[in-house]
């Protein structure tokens, strides 16, 4: 028997020669079964209680001898190890290639992507806003991404950005987005830009998008937006009057609900039968109690003139980026979050946990997902449904959820500086409307510096092939700074563990209810 254990120990040491066992996969469980997700192949296996215990020990200790602490008989232990290493040989699991570099189109298709694949241009029309929402990322006490200013974009800057964008893309569908501050402060600029695009580029398939608080929408503005060939308007609305007005206030502190609803009604009426494809809601949730969430959902469900099948996104309040030390995979901070979730499941992700309660406890009917969380939950399911899968481990790892800077989207400040995204905090610019995109800066900061730093942490992470974290939260104005991202990575790994379990819970009980994911199109 000892010889058998010695042989299995030798096999174990071969598996971890490239790093810790924990990078090779993750075990998780549903209400009925135990499972193991394999990093290298993306395969998921149902496993026995004994094998789950063995894998847990390997993951936590990186030591073969730790399994002798388990209360398993010698026969059961040997049988379990035989089962494990047979799967290693037959299914090619626990053999994830070492992570030496991260790859993506940023690395080998950058020039082509920038000259042909541009998809979205976001114009920061103004630094001004007619409101002072208490949780806004511009607010001094919150995300600290920017501060309100007094600058507006000139048409010269907008025109240069539009021309560079529309003449350097071969994508069939293009998006030009108006952003702020509050973009409708510059409604005349919106009209000037849209008319210019339609006149000078009549053959381009352009969708004009905007995020607005809707308080400045008039019947004239609504009619004009609805007259565009294609427009998508995201309206910021947090729920009924008392909830909305608790945070979404004007500069004088007065709530904005009445004016937002008036503007929204103008938009709904103007878009008519196009409303379901043209209006999106976004709600920022500050009260996570089930009572408050039910109240918000009830408001959207019962308002007689709000269409019931509009896309609805929700989000938590942005908090200031915090620099912390790296604690490794399953470090103290990460494990503390897990312990808190065990004590109170709703504490970690209260919005989604509430929003899918009927779905998980009922007949797994898509219509039972509360609209407040539906888009986000389906996106989570898709991350598992469409995950990387192969018979044998691949040798190349992608750059997480990072886009091609300047290609998928590009953000233009009021002064004409190019940034990679409106959601980014301070980060290195990538050119300007006068000189064009600076490919060398992209290569330096968002390819070379990012990859060199990211690989230090991604090489140890079991979720590397499930990760969709992008460039957000890992830059300062001057360069990469991953100390801002460590907390995000910890939460993201826990999120992936949870969604793996949820997905397979559905797969066990109603696999047909996941079929719609094969053709689902996210906004």
Quick: pLDDT tens for 302-347. 999 999 889 999 998 877 778 999 999 999 999 999 998 888 777 7
Mean pLDDT calculated for residue range 154-168: 96
222 half-sphere exposure, CB direction, 13 A CA radius: 23
Euclidean distance between CA atoms 64 and 55, whole angstroms: 10
Which of 321, 349, 377 is where one domain is finished? 321
Whether 483 and 501 map to the same domain: the answer is yes
For residue 516, the SS3 value is helix
Whether 280 and 149 map to the same domain: the answer is yes
Whether 459 and 497 map to the same domain: the answer is yes
Supply the pLDDT for residue 18. Answer: 86
Whether 258 and 376 map to the same domain: the answer is no
Whether 66 and 148 map to the same domain: the answer is no
CATH number for the domain harbouring residue 193: 3.20.20.70
* DSSP letters for 313-379: EEEEPP----------TT-HHHHHHHHHHHH-HHHHSHHHHHHTHHHHHTT--GGGS-HHHHHHHHH
With respect to residue 275, please indicate whether it lies within any of the assigned structural domains. yes
pLDDT for residue 141 is more than 50:
no
145 pLDDT tier (thresholds 50, 70, 90): low
With respect to residue 262, please indicate whether it lies within any of the assigned structural domains. yes
* DSSP summary character for residue 172: S
Supply the pLDDT for residue 1. Answer: 46
Helices then strands, counting H and E runs in the chain, come out as 20, 15
138 pLDDT tier (thresholds 50, 70, 90): low
124 pLDDT tier (thresholds 50, 70, 90): very high
Which of 267, 287, 321 is where one domain is finished? 321
Whether 374 and 500 map to the same domain: the answer is yes
Whether 309 and 328 map to the same domain: the answer is no
pLDDT for residue 281 is more than 90:
yes
Whether 306 and 332 map to the same domain: the answer is no
Whether 279 and 383 map to the same domain: the answer is no
| Helix 2-15 × helix 74-91 angle, to 10° | 40
Whether 351 and 451 map to the same domain: the answer is yes
- Report the domain count for the chain: 3
With respect to residue 418, please indicate whether it lies within any of the assigned structural domains. no
Which of 269, 293, 321 is where one domain is finished? 321
With respect to residue 412, please indicate whether it lies within any of the assigned structural domains. no
Mean pLDDT calculated for residue range 362-383: 91
With respect to residue 188, please indicate whether it lies within any of the assigned structural domains. yes
Quick: pLDDT tens for 24-51. 999 999 999 999 999 999 999 999 999 9
Whether 342 and 303 map to the same domain: the answer is no
Supply the pLDDT for residue 225. Answer: 98
Euclidean distance between CA atoms 105 and 445, whole angstroms: 15
With respect to residue 437, please indicate whether it lies within any of the assigned structural domains. no
With respect to residue 429, please indicate whether it lies within any of the assigned structural domains. no
Euclidean distance between CA atoms 446 and 479, whole angstroms: 9
Structural domain range at position 36: 2-96
Supply the pLDDT for residue 160. Answer: 98
Q: Do 152 and 415 meet the contact criterion of CB atoms below 8 Å apart?
A: no
Quick: pLDDT tens for 423-452. 888 899 999 999 999 999 999 999 999 999
With respect to residue 411, please indicate whether it lies within any of the assigned structural domains. no
Alpha-carbon torsion, ordered 459, 461, 463, 468, to 10 deg: -60
* DSSP summary character for residue 175: E
Whether 190 and 223 map to the same domain: the answer is yes
pLDDT for residue 142 is more than 60:
no
């Amino acid at each position: 028997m000892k010889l058998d254990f010695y042989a299995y120990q030798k096999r174990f040491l071969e598996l971890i020669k490239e790093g810790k066992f924990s990078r090779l996969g993750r075990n998780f469980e549903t209400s009925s079964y135990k499972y193991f997700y394999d990093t290298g192949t993306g395969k998921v296996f149902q496993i026995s209680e004994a094998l789950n215990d063995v894998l847990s020990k390997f993951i936590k200790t990186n030591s073969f001898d730790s399994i002798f602490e388990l209360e398993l008989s010698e026969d059961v232990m040997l049988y379990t190890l035989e089962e494990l290493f047979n799967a290693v040989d037959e299914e090619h699991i626990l053999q994830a290639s070492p992570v030496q570099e991260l790859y993506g189109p940023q690395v080998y298709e950058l020039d082509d992507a920038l000259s042909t694949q541009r998809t979205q241009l976001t114009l920061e029309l103004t630094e001004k806003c007619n409101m002072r929402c208490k949780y806004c990322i511009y607010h001094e006490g919150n995300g600290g991404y920017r501060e309100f200013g007094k600058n507006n974009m000139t048409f010269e800057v907008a025109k240069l950005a539009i021309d560079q964008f529309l003449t350097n893309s071969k994508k069939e569908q293009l998006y030009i987005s108006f952003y702020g501050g509050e973009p409708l402060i510059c409604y005349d600029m919106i009209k000037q830009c849209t008319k210019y695009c339609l006149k000078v580029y009549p053959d381009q398939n352009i969708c004009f998008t905007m995020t607005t608080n809707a308080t400045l929408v008039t019947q004239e503005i609504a009619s004009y937006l609805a007259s565009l060939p294609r427009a998508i308007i995201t309206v910021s609305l947090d729920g009924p009057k008392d909830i909305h007005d608790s945070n979404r206030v004007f500069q004088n502190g007065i709530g904005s609900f009445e004016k937002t609803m008036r503007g929204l009604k103008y938009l709904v009426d103007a878009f008519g039968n196009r409303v379901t494809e043209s209006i999106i809601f976004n709600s920022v949730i500050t009260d996570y109690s089930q009572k408050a969430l039910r109240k918000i959902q009830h408001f959207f469900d019962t308002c007689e003139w709000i269409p019931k099948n509009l896309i609805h996104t929700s989000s938590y309040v942005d908090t200031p980026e915090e620099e912390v030390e790296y604690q490794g995979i399953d470090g103290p901070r990460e494990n503390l979050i897990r312990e808190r979730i065990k004590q109170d499941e709703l504490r970690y992700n209260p919005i989604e946990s509430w929003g899918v309660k009927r779905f998980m406890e009922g007949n797994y009917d898509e219509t039972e997902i509360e609209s407040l969380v539906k888009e986000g939950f389906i996106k989570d399911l898709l991350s598992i449904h469409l995950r990387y899968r192969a018979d044998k481990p691949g040798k190349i790892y992608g750059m997480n959820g990072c886009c091609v800077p300047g290609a998928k989207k590009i953000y233009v400040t009021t002064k004409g500086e190019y940034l990679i995204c409106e959601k980014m905090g301070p980060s290195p610019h990538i050119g300007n409307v006068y000189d064009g995109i600076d490919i060398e800066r992209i290569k330096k900061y968002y390819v070379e510096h990012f990859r060199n730093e990211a690989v230090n942490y991604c090489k140890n992470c079991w979720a590397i092939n499930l990760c969709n974290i992008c460039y957000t939260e890992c830059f300062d104005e001057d360069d990469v700074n991953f100390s801002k991202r460590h907390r995000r990575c910890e939460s993201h790994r826990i999120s992936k563990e949870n969604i793996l379990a949820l997905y397979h819970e559905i797969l066990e009980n109603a696999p047909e209810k996941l079929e719609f994911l094969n053709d689902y199109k996210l906004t």
